[in-house]
Structure 1
């Protein structure tokens, strides 16, 4: 991990320079073949590509981790416990009174809950500025109106409609220079904002490296540059992920040295073509000249993205780790804290239980289970399923900003917002609770009776996927075509398979996320603030939570009202008996098939029946 060091950071551009030199050499090699025949061009460019690949691979292998940066985070002990006689204590709601907040990612899953919570629990907050990107010809004001009309803000619209006018859209784009914010809006933010929440990120596990770096790293860097210009900034809260250090088993609340200097990675993605970075193989038919052929050959030899991310499973965790390191370097004397949630799931209580607006992570898989379309996956059933409700994370973020502003410190504090240490649930328990809930509160139009198994035997899991996922999918789509309807089940199964593949890495491994800072922060709050801003994960009753989770995605994702439950339950009973009938028929057909193929088995079965009949005759009442 990084050590405290107040010397200036020494940039190591060896990776970028070595890569540049290697590919430049390959270009020179390719250039020597200009005017030659197609065959000679192929030979010269392939040789150049091999040299380039060797050069970059050597650079990757030899690149040293970035040097230590000042203040790597860590636990501040002892945390000052709340005392009733402490006259200096400022309640969280009072702290936010009269302050303006700037939020990136405010239209995302977590951002929406953050906006709603600030408006509802900090009624004297001055303004909330949301960075919103115009899209599909829709202005930011229209997007804001759409956001505030969502079910999430229903209670505010009904009880405190004036609070919604405090939300002000800021047109911008996290991928653009200066965040795409106009000069006048930058001035507005720099004059008025005192708390910043940075939750904008691409959370797609299979995102292309270039876009992932642009959003998760460059976006963070550009935001920090803006924060340095803010006249009265008291807190900057950066939302990371507990899995940014998934290459190690024990994860403390510190920033660990990344495999590469973040500036080198940014330079690399700005310099290399996207098809090389993301390994999108061009068609040979499109290789119009030797330059393109050279790129294809280099791509074939290189496989750059997997080499860069190393032991991490995807570009998301890789860029999030680098973003933390870069934040530590760029922040300087800014008051910064990092919140690292694990797998963020539906709300526990606020603004109402079970709220969720996307199919990411476990939500999509449990939804597929509820539909009867998902039955098997690779998972270590006794490992901890470290997931945390979204409102727990948001309450912690709000409290962390309060703590950062009111207790000045030279350390950048990190909060691992997880459940595995204080209130763990293992995967088998989660699946058991989910199975019970989806049967108790079934979805309309359920295709089959929900069942499922967790396995660590890959061949067996693959066989079950073919028999239980794709075989029924092709049969149902075939029936749909015969009936003149549009087939869709195979397409859905392909999407489920992709989602399962992304989650498999996290379901077959286990981590220990230390959360001492979170626990310490909890004890600094007054009893009233603990009731308003709940982030004590020990209060989660997993059985009840999963049931509310299922009811939540039933209502908010599938738009199914509680009034439809009686009819859905009747359908579930029919599906249960149909499921049992199919199992009996499958066993009988399998047995009949084996009997017809094996005389020995047939003889054994006949002998068994004959002996059973003799024994039965010895029983008096028979």
Structure 2
């Protein structure tokens, strides 16, 4: 898709006729959402209910899980703090949510015939955000969910008589094998049909052994299968009114409905949460590279607006939107890490193990030394003491999980990309002032200081479930740990210096003179 085609379509549509407001567009519409129980899906659901009150019905594809039926999982979902405003102000709107039992990994999405008939007859807008976001997922399962699941959804959408928009959520990193990523779909080195044939024909162990060769320059199966899904969509979308949203690294909400809301440990969040506990202090990362991070509510607003846009201006080409911050509001990894540690100390969690401090380095050897000294050694010592006292050691197990999470992030923290976002900018120009405010996706408005402070507070409140009333006690604890941390640093330096002084005569003389000077000052102090 060329940028010229996109821009021409946008200009022609705005000049020919005025567009309805976004809320007006959703009045009376029936929606279908996959991935509604995931992080982004929940925010999408809440935003649609709150800002588009005229929505008629929202069908939700929900897989039964752990003995819970779809209806039970839906009830659990809407009990989240995320839906507090809806429950208090418009509780009847929750009745618009209708669970459809199904499974993205199964043929026909495992949706029953009667439910399929309802969807085919009534749905106007589809949001497809169901995916496995595990970077280290096995290729077979990743293909099944991210690739085949998308194919099955498209087959269903082609039978929807009233469909006006299909929004597919991808990732900005599906093209991480190239430095500059435009808002277009690039062909993968291996065709989707070939990969599907291999995965279906071979057993899982053989697929695992071939994974590295298949994904090529991409770092994981997630980015690889997302690229495959985009390529398949380009060749098989037919006449579907399709848009693709590509967010970068999605973090907590910046504004809506709760500042700092986050409910999972994925991506940097788990690392920052562990750093706040004092359990994580070093990571392989290029401090001067741009960290392309984006608030979840801005991604959701872009999704809602993009559906409105494609419904008003159908296009034969797939419209792609890179939802990223690196071009318009960049922040470097060193600044992100510094601010997260700063606010983790200002708003500490309870039961911190060690004083929250640390840094990043682009040198693998230095990072490995730091890991052994600052992560593994303390964990081994503490677990040994706990085992001696008859307790259950857990720190080594925690460090193992953190180490795997850090390895998954290394590729993104040591590289940098230029994600073109011209389509996103042009889309914003088509909005009225009120819609631009209600459905804001202008990343240039992000204040990183304020946002990351709320991010850390959100981790404290929503991940660790700690009330604001516990902050004074937590701060006192961190203050004590601070002095312990400083005293330990001084003693460590003195021990190292003493060890060196014993081996080298010039250092030994310097060390002796320093000690004499300190003793002399100590004798003088009472008389000053």
TM-score category, normalised to shorter length:
over 0.9
Equivalences for 1:558-577 in 2 at 5 Å? 558-577=464-483
Q: In the alignment, which residue of structure 2 is the partner of 1:578?
A: 484
Q: Note the 1:606-617 alignment, pairs <5 A.
A: 606=512
**In 2: Cα distance, 1:400 partner to 1:541 partner:** 24
The answer for the alignment partner of 1:153 in structure 2 is 83
Cα deviation, residue 604, structure 1: 4.6
Pick from 236, 241, 244 the counterpart of residue 171 of structure 2.
241
Aligned to 1:433: 339
- What's 1:335 paired with? 241
- 1:544 matched residue in structure 2: 450
- Segments of 5+ residues of structure 1 without an aligned counterpart are 5-70, 280-303, 616-620
Quote the Cα distance in structure 2 between the aligned partners of 1:246 and 1:82. Answer: 33
Aligned to 2:428: 522
C-alpha deviation, 1:607, in angstroms: 6.1
Q: 2:125 maps to which residue?
A: 195
Paired residue for 1:210, among 115, 140, 143? 140
Do residues 125 (structure 1) and 55 (structure 2) align? yes
Cα distance in 2, alignment partners of residues 608 and 524 from structure 1: 71
Match of 1:169 in 2: 99
Say whether 1:350 aligns with 2:350: no
Contact 2:243 2:307 in 1 (8 A): yes
Residue 92 of structure 1 deviates from its aligned partner by 0.4
Shift of 1:590: 1.6
Kindly provide the CA deviation profile for residues 352-400 of structure 1, in whole angstroms up to 9, marking residues without a partner as x. Answer: 1000000111111111110111111111111110010000000000000
* Aligned partner (choices 54, 66, 75) of residue 6 of structure 2: 75
2:424 pairs with 1:510: no
The 3-state SS of whatever aligns with 1:169 is strand
Residues 13 and 313, structure 2, Cα contact 8 Å, conserved in 1: no
SS of corresponding position for 2:31: strand
The secondary structure found in structure 1 opposite 2:167 is strand
Q: Residues 607 and 115 from structure 1, CA distance in 2 versus in 1: closer, same or farther, beyond 3 angstroms?
A: closer
Contact 1:100 1:126 in 2 (8 A): yes
Q: Distance in 2 between matches of 1:607 and 1:371?
A: 41
Instruction: Provide the residue aligned with 1:467 in structure 2.
Output: 373
Greater CA drift, 596-605 or 495-504: 596-605
Question: The residue matched to 1:372 in structure 2 has which SS?
Answer: coil
Distance in 2, Cα, partners of 1:214 & 1:82: 38
Counterpart Cα distance in 2 of 1:342 and 1:353: 19
Between 1:582-591 and 1:515-524, the stretch displaced more is 582-591
Q: 1:238 to 1:481 in 2, by over 3 A?
A: same
How big is the shift at 1:454?
A: 1.2
Structure 2 residue 308 is matched with structure 1 residue 377: no
1:588 to 1:141, Cα distance in 2 relative to 1, 3 A: same
Match of 1:368 among 265, 274, 278: 274
SS in 1 for 2:287: coil
Q: Distance in 1 between matches of 2:16 and 2:3?
A: 30
**Inter-CA distance 166–610: structure 2 relative to 1 (3 Å threshold):** closer
Q: CA deviation at 1:566?
A: 0.3
Deviations 1:458-510 (A, max 9, x none): 11110000000010011111121222221111111111100000000000000
Which residue in 1 is equivalent to 2:153?
223
Closer, same or farther: CA 593–191 of 1 in aligned 2, 3 Å: same
The offset of 1:612, in angstroms, is 10
CA contact (8 A) 2:498 2:511 kept: no
What are the equivalent positions in structure 2 for 1:31-110 lying under 5 Å apart? 75-77=6-8, 79-80=10-11, 88-110=18-40
TM-score, normalization: structure 2? 0.96
Find the aligned partners of 2:392 and 2:258 in 1 and give their Cα distance.
Answer: 37
Counterpart mapping for 1:355-434 below 5 A? 355-434=261-340
CA contact (8 A) 1:81 1:524 kept: no
The structure 1 residue matched to 2:404, chosen from 490, 495, 498, is 498
Q: Indicate which of 60, 70, 73 corresponds to 1:140.
A: 70
User: Is the Cα–Cα contact under 8 Å of residues 9 and 313 in structure 2 kept in the other structure?
Assistant: no
> Which among 278, 281, 291 is matched to residue 208 of structure 2?
278
Cα distance in 2 between the residues matched to 1:490 and 1:81: 61
CA RMSD of aligned residues (A): 2.3
- CA distance in 2 between counterparts of 1:426 and 1:389 reads 16
Cα–Cα, structure 1 residues 378 and 485, in superposed 2: closer, same or farther, change >3 Å? same
Structure 1 CA distance, aligned partners of 2:305 and 2:375?
45
Residue 317 of structure 1 is matched in structure 2 by 223
CA contact under 8 A between 1:361 and 1:503: conserved in structure 2? Answer: yes
Aligned equivalent of 2:356, options 443, 447, 450: 450
Question: Which residue in 2 is equivalent to 1:307?
Answer: 213
* Structure of higher CA gyration radius: 1
SS at match of 1:278: helix
Distance in 2 between residues matched to 1:610 and 1:566, nearest whole Å: 43
Shift of 1:605: 3.5
Q: Secondary structure at the match of 2:6?
A: coil
| TM-score for the superposition, normalised by structure 1 | 0.81
Answer whether contact 2:281 2:358 (CA < 8 A) is retained: yes
Could you list the runs of 5+ residues in structure 2 that have no partner in the other structure? 522-526
